Amino acid sequence: MIRLTAMLRRNPSLTAEAFHAHWADVHAAKILAVPGIGDHVVRYEQLPRVPDAANRWTGSDGFDGVTVQWFRDLDAFTAMITDPEYRRIVGPDERALLDRAGSVYLLTDEPRIVIG
């Protein structure tokens, strides 16, 4: 099992509220609309940033959320990102939703459990 973890920055044209609403409702629906997406993705998680609170640290500045996507193997990940239907349905939405150059992406292998 591999995971794509992405620290996301929103498109600068969007407010934080607009980003989170679109990510939760529109973007998730577009991913689910890709025919056969379950053949590639085992799990898809959206982790929105904790709202800023006065005098409280909520993480590094500039990031709006994290997504974690689980795949059986690297081939499944590659199949998803090269799938023509994924590119047609999700690709334009990613460009509208995200600051893709300012976001950070990392593929990781099986975790080494330290606690739990």
pLDDT over threshold 90, residue 53: no
- What is the four-CA torsion angle of 32, 34, 40, 41, rounded to 10 degrees? -20
Look at residue 60 in the predicted model and tell me its pLDDT: 86
Scanning the structure block, which residue is given the tokens 């890709």? 34
71 forms bridges with which residues in the sheet?
A: 2, 41
CB atoms within 10 A of CB 34: 20
Token digits of residue 7: 């620290």
For the entire predicted model, the pTM comes to 0.88
Average pLDDT over residues 54-64: 85
Distance CA(107)–CA(69), nearest Å, equals: 9
- Name all domains of the chain by residue range, CATH numbers in brackets: 2-51+62-108 (3.30.70.100)
The predicted-structure confidence for 85-103, as pLDDT tens digits, reads as follows: 999 999 999 999 999 999 9
Look at residue 57 in the predicted model and tell me its pLDDT: 84
68 forms bridges with which residues in the sheet?
A: 5, 45
